[in-house]
């Protein structure tokens, strides 16, 4: 199974946004800059996540994006579905009924075994993604890596975070 690049970008953006102050936002351009990705491609995914209720889009010149709910309420499955859509990765086209000399139609009353196996695997995959929240991912990567990521994020917030709460420790 291959997910689009937008899924990785979306997950990392949500992780970064989870570190903002309560009223803080980051512009789509700042998120794209931080991750070194195309702003127009990323914007499409940010809008999809806002439409799915994962992000809040704050309009205006000081606007941007922030989480619409707590990081422990956003799962990886929520992000994947927002970006890729709810359809299963495998879509059975019933090719077993095509080609020369197909078998009689009454054999196709039972579901395709290939489709059943693929959907079972997809169900397990989605269940695992549903068990992992953005908050779960926040502290992973080891102590030194975690400190380096935190330092990079804080320095970036100092330059790009908008609408900070008064007295926010990031000011």
pLDDT at 171: 37
Q: What is the CATH number of domain 5-160?
A: 1.10.10.10
pLDDT at 96: 80
Q: Cα separation of 62 and 111, whole Å? A: 54
Residues 6+ apart with CB under 8 A from 16: 26, 31, 34, 35, 153, 156
pLDDT at 139: 62
Spell out, as residue ranges, where the chain has pLDDT lower than 50: 167-171
């Amino acid at each position: 199974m291959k997910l689009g690049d937008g899924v990785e970008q979306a997950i990392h953006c949500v992780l970064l946004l989870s570190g903002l102050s309560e009223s803080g936002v980051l512009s789509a351009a700042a998120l794209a800059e931080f991750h070194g990705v195309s702003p127009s491609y990323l914007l499409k995914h940010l809008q999809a996540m806002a439409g799915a209720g994962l992000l809040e889009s704050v309009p205006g010149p000081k606007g941007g994006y922030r989480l619409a709910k707590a990081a422990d309420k956003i799962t990886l499955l929520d992000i994947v579905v927002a970006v890729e859509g709810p359809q299963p990765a495998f879509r059975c086209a019933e090719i077993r009924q095509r080609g020369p000399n197909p078998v009689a139609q009454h054999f196709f009353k039972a579901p395709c075994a290939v489709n059943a196996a693929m959907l079972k695997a997809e169900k397990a995959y989605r269940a695992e993604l549903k068990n992992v929240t953005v908050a779960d991912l926040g502290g992973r990567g080891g102590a030194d890596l975690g400190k380096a990521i935190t330092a990079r994020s804080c320095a970036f917030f100092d330059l790009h975070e908008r609408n900070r709460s008064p007295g926010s420790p990031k000011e």
